[in-house]
Structure 1
Amino acid sequence: MRMNHLDVHVPDVQRTVAVLVTHFGFRQEFARDGLIVLRDEADFELVVSQPVAGFGTSDQVSLGTSTYHIGFMLESADAVDKMYANLQSSDVELNRPPKAIRGGWLFYCMLPGRIQIEIGFRGTPL
């Protein structure tokens, strides 16, 4: 079995997608009715959509909290530092610069829609 996709609910789909395409290497596959499907270089599908009534109609903004995070691993600690520098002028909330955490070099940030992202490097180069 292989995980096929992840669907995140956000109040402003376009704003969240803009950051994912610009800074995280996703490309847009298609869009329809408040939903945009993105794909990355590993063929992972990330769906960004407005809250759906059948799934509880909530998102992390309306909940006022972050209930999960998505992790991206980079090839080196230097790549993590570069990503942090690139995100400083973007539509992303940055709390702290990269630091050593649990045997890795990483930082967390918040995308529009309160999608928490971990960006890091652990141990061996990818």
Structure 2
Amino acid sequence: MKLNHINLYSHDIEADRAMFERYFGLRTLVVRGSKMAIMQDDDGSVVIVNHFENRLAGFDYPEQFDILHIGFIQESRDAVDALHARLNGDGWNIQAPHDAHGAWSFYFRAKGGYFIEVTTLTPIRPQEAYRGERQ
């Protein structure tokens, strides 16, 4: 099975589209005014950012739905640091990279209101490995 798409509610479609293109290499496939942008990565996965306020009523998002985030894996700590330096140099308000469960990572808030995580692969400790056992 392959992940097909991620759909994120955004407060600023244009700013988020530009961020995904500039820093994460996504290419824009479709823009529907200020309501939606559809982008794709090199492996064919799709990221959609939308601002459909009229669809929030009755939809069961948590009240603090901006805690949702999308993560991007980098190959090394140096790659995480390099992307952090680019974002910081461009004026993004971001936390310093830090060790998080054995991975090197940082988070920042996209203009659309949700968070972006940039991280190295998180190692799975033997005691955390899923073994198909029911709890």
Worse overlay, 75-84 or 32-41:
32-41
AA partner of residue 14 (structure 1): E
Tell me: CA distance 1:57–1:36, structure 2 relative to 1, closer, same or farther (3 Å): farther
Partners of 1:5 and 1:122 in 2: CA distance = 21
Matched length: 120
AA partner of residue 20 (structure 2): L
AA partner of residue 109 (structure 2): M
Runs (4 or more) in structure 1 with deviation over 4 Å come to: none
TM-score by length of 1: 0.81
Tell me the equivalent position of 2:98.
99
Contact 2:11 2:113 in 1 (8 A): no
Tell me the equivalent position of 1:71.
71
Partners of 1:100 and 1:10 in 2: CA distance = 28
Q: Alpha-carbon deviation of 1:123? A: 6.3
2:117 aligns to what SS in structure 1?
strand
Partners of 1:57 and 1:92 in 2: CA distance = 33
Structure (1 or 2) with the greater strand fraction: 1
Partners of 2:47 and 2:32 in 1: CA distance = 14
Contact 2:106 2:117 in 1 (8 A): yes
**Cα deviation 1:89-113 (Å, max 9, x = unaligned):** 3363302x11111011111111111
Partners of 2:56 and 2:65 in 1: CA distance = 17
Stretches of structure 1 that go unaligned for 5 or more consecutive residues are none
**Cα deviation 1:45-71 (Å, max 9, x = unaligned):** 00111124234399xxxx676321111
Stretches of structure 2 that go unaligned for 5 or more consecutive residues are 124-135
Partners of 2:22 and 2:48 in 1: CA distance = 16
**Matched-pair identity in %:** 26
**Cα deviation 1:18-68 (Å, max 9, x = unaligned):** 11111111100111242110001121100111124234399xxxx676321
Tell me: CA distance 1:56–1:2, structure 2 relative to 1, closer, same or farther (3 Å): farther
TM-score by length of 2: 0.76
Q: Aligned-residue CA RMSD in angstroms?
A: 2.5
